[in-house]
Amino acid sequence: MRRAVAGSPTAPPADLFVVLGATGDLMERKLIPALYAISAGTAGETRRLRILGSSRRPWKDEEFRDYAIDALVSGKCAPPAAARTWAEATVGFQSTPEDLSEGLGPLAQRIAEEEARYRLSGNRVLYLALPAVAFPPTIRAIGEAGLSKGPGWTRFVIEKPFGRDLASAEELNALIHRWFDETAVYRIDHYLGKETVQNLLVFRFANMLFESVWNRDRIRHVEITVAEDLGLENRATYYDQAGALRDMVQSHLAQLLTLTAMEVPTNLEADQVRNEKVKVLRSLEPVRPEDVVFGQYAAGTVGGTRVPSYREEPGVKPHSSTETFVALRLKVNSWRWHGIPFYLRTGKRLPMKLTEILVRFREPPVWFFGDKGPKELTANSLSITIQPDEGFALGIEIKRPGHAIRLETHQLHFRYAEAFGPLTDGYQTLILDILRGDQTLFVRADEVEESWRVFAPVLQDPPKPRPYEAGSWGPKESDALLAADGQEWTER
């Protein structure tokens, strides 16, 4: 039997995956490896794709293919021969004008040529891997070039940040909806592609043991930590304008909060899950000034290496007041969570890289084991680690061997690496969902706006950042945030 080849009548038709901003860091580090895994058959599911990169660089197909090959080989995703074979069969490039007012006519023409030459399905993904400042003019150019509609379905993908405040988020959504129905829009927050984030739904709703105690009667408080030990990593131009709240809290931490606090959806259809997440955001009590602490790192030592202060980083303004650390106390005004604080914190130049949801349960009402005071009573805790050591651990009390009653805390734990080996990158999961048309792990327009609405008061009157030494867990004022409730951050 004759083997089907790309473009032959016997091969299943491929979809077209167009990346605007295809010569940037995101394409090199994340998208090329994920697209290779999906289309070359090394992922769990294989999809036939034709990939068309686009940017302002005056490249030809060969130059972009070399770029893709280098990304795969340097990232140890494929050997050189396999990478070259894949790139030559799958990858093309179309340059776009420096000034988008000239339009995207050449790109539209190239898309039509690709679909005809390779007998593609007519289905298109348009992926914006661009800086946020380029979103509005690019979206207008896409719409005016007629690229929002095609012979098959067209799906529009946009990376965070989705605006920089409520007003800009509303404007961006309105602009997108001018040419795309919400059912065709995929707003990516890559945290939602992580297996452990997705597992939150399974963990909560498939295990009655936990769902039955997931409420104000049994839980004392919840801590959500997204810690980075790195500094700016060549992102000073963006970060000094954004800060930690815009960069991390409004997106990543808000997503983890909604998944932790949401009610049981009626089913796992995308809108049912996202409806429950929006309800959480709408139930959050207003953020008061005393509920927020900002910090900015000073010089210190991280991982045994001396590092400069934030203001000494290349590209940062000498007197910058941008926050590199945020801690907040939030309360969800719902039947399940009334009165229970959620403590969120994120920061750069902290002691370690860690993304974790930690649930602290209440102490036993009566203590029989020794003469501990109220503040020393032992409470169970559940830590759900999103990265880097994905899994969870439940702290329980056990009796040490011997006649005396002596207790120790030990962990019942599960680790993905032990059970399943290394996990795939979240972008593989998200791109496959885009191709399937599954929006469950993507952020809906009203969810974006509700999240900005929660944090708008903080942005309008931001607190002065408190200094903290690089390599510490942030300014001491963040400890006071919990101490006011008689609580403290869980030691690590």
Could you tell me the maximum CA-CA distance found in the chain, to the nearest angstrom?
A: 84
Catalytic residue of the set 177, 221, 252, 338: 252
* Segment (H or E) for 26: helix 25-26
Taking a C-beta distance cutoff of 8 angstroms, is the pair 464, 321 a contact? yes
Q: HSE of 152 in the Cβ direction (CA atoms, 13 Å)?
A: 19
**Which two tokens mark 162?**
């989705």
Q: Is 319 a catalytic residue?
A: no
Cβ-defined contacts of 25-32 (< 8 Å, 24+): 26/129, 26/159, 27/53, 27/71, 27/129, 28/67, 28/71, 29/71, 29/75, 30/190, 30/425, 30/427, 31/127, 31/129, 31/427, 31/431, 32/68, 32/71, 32/72, 32/77
Helix ranges (DSSP H) in 157-313: 166-179, 195-205, 208-211, 236-244, 254-261, 270-283
Please report the sign of the dihedral spanned by the C-alpha atoms of residue 244, residue 247, residue 251, residue 253.
Answer: negative
Taking Cα atoms as reference points, which of 78, 71, 40 lies closest to residue 53? 71
* Segment (H or E) for 82: helix 80-90
Q: 446: exposed, middle or buried (C-beta count within 10 Å: 0-12, 13-18, 19+)?
A: middle
Residue 200: phi, psi to the nearest 5? -55, -40
Taking Cα atoms as reference points, which of 389, 382, 369, 376 lies closest to residue 411? 382
Q: How far apart are CA 346 and CA 363, in angstroms?
A: 27
What one-character DSSP code corresponds to residue 490?
P
Q: How far apart are CA 114 and CA 91, in angstroms?
A: 11
Would you call 190 helix, strand, or coil by DSSP?
helix
Q: How far apart are CA 489 and CA 153, in angstroms?
A: 48
Q: How far apart are CA 296 and CA 294, in angstroms?
A: 7
Rg (CA), the chain: 25
Which residue type is seen at 213?
Answer: V
Residues annotated as catalytic (active site), given as ranges: 252
